[in-house]
Structure 1
């Protein structure tokens, strides 16, 4: 691939290469001292490894020049397509209308990456051909059942059409306290969603180097306000926020008293979809604004951004119902302490902006079928911390999770069809279980 080599020479002349001099370019391997570099993919996967391409329903080992992930007999998204084209020195992941696309290197025997984490760097060359309706992220495994992800939607869209470019990530982007990199079976993965086409070449770890990219600090990400940048949300998240602000202004100008405000993620947003009939029966009489302040996909930092950018302007409710945090868990396997800090930061912001409101803080709802699943256990740990935020005055913590579960803690698909989101009957369960606490706060 001559164009990659040409770019590499230009990058070298421009001193874009790593400070160690160890950064390889496509078609050129072995730079740097012996042991300083660990190649993962260079004109093919490293010896003892292979490449897999997958969507959310199936996966396919890559052998040959072009692979398309096979569709099941009854696909959930019939129009979606995920595949990879393999060239002499690079591989290109292409995806269309995809919920999830994955291109990863798997090893036959686990690799020891402790020499490269957390002080080293992950370096590779990338060519974004199309990303106008898509997004990408990168993952590095950190041991059995452990992987770390760095979202890259906004920078990737900025790279579209500009040819091959070197990317160098500090390994601290993929490292958390107490991670054990001694046995990593998936050292690198490129993930996409929506529609896009992106090439990857010369994937390697280096013991030291100069990063040319950055990533959020995982210790403060949950409390640092940020817009939600996902391929499926980026085009409507901001406009939805502005539309809901306009609705609040209209209510305020009309003198309509909003007594209850619901704030949260897709589970709260579901009140205006699956839960709409239940909403009308229970909350329409309060002129409640819950239909506007639940945004699918939101993490604690995304809710915080909305609060700081006018979501509550002009409102003076009696009660705010707050539930957020399950996306911190599901997307990042976040430390429960960090997620709880994000919830606390949102509580503080609400109290500052709505000094007359009581806050009904809900435990994060259960997810996954079994009570011992990793995500369920993380949420339970978050909830244990949230319970301590109840001050007996303006903040009331309420855990109604048992209302959704069987006696042994199992979550049924009859209650939450995807083991995360509620059906109409479950919104009725939510409303009834919450009613005593809600009435008490409304009457204060």
Structure 2
């Protein structure tokens, strides 16, 4: 059977529901076998253990799952409401900020829709926000936070990109810095829209209550140090990413089990198993994609791709515009982890030819892929929210359209204004 026929058969199986990692690995195996070194695929899985800092992925994942099982979401919403609720559209801004924080730590947009949506959607409706706006907000805001540390997609892109020879190189720490301003831009844009919508909500703009703010801060006193410790330790170079991940997981474990006692010891194995199932899926995809990347490099796919693209595209801006459209479609069809590990080895050499900084490329990729979560017709969050809130997907498509346009405009600005991603990198003397 020819190579083309074998790959075609695998793609057909993918269309019939074959797991994506198996399709990726299958294509890698038949390609590498045809090239004469089929054992290379297996060595990629073995080599995962030698990747520096890989332990950060399971540790941050465990911390996120522990937080989602605790009362942290309710305390986060209460604190945000006490701090921001007095603004016009305050509760909607609370929802935006809370969802971004939660997604940054869990790394799972769908989990945010389920966990935070259960708290925020009824609260938004009770406060008088339009039902369509409330639905659209909790569905779209579930993807926010992927550009903030310690987001798993940011970490994964850093691990995949680090071994690729580019000038300059890029690290996980670089990406944590690069994502801050673009992520903040998205929050500001949605918050401004929330204030505009909030003008017509009777209960908006409630009086600021310093005593409630103090009580909410005191209630969340164990969660408040988390982002400060993570960001400060990494940005100041005090600890490596894997060390920060270990510190975060240990801290959350002690607080959840011993201090708050919101999780019993008998529940811990179940939560850990759930977290590690997600980690196992990521590692399977990562190993398979690394094998596929080897075959792509052997076949000089990046070089051929550049030759094809350069015949139609002359400037970095044109390249990034086409990339935006491509990534938006990819984000609808496959999960963000698969997209990162498959596309990064292909796109980084191509982007380098057009002079695009690898950290800027990473932020552009993640910003587009997070839009894919709620882009019709097949954005994953649309179906999760439809199931969670018992509404038709078509209703959610209409509800999320304004958010898609607002965040889409933000992504274009992030794409065409590289300084937004690179300013803090240059200030920090990295990259």
TM-score of the two chains, using structure 2 as the length reference: 0.24
Q: Which has the higher strand share?
A: 1
Flag the structure with more relative contact order, 1 or 2, with Cα contacts below 8 A and sequence separation at least 6.
2
TM-score of the two chains, using structure 1 as the length reference: 0.23
- Bigger radius of gyration, 1 or 2? 1
Q: Which has the higher helix share?
A: 2
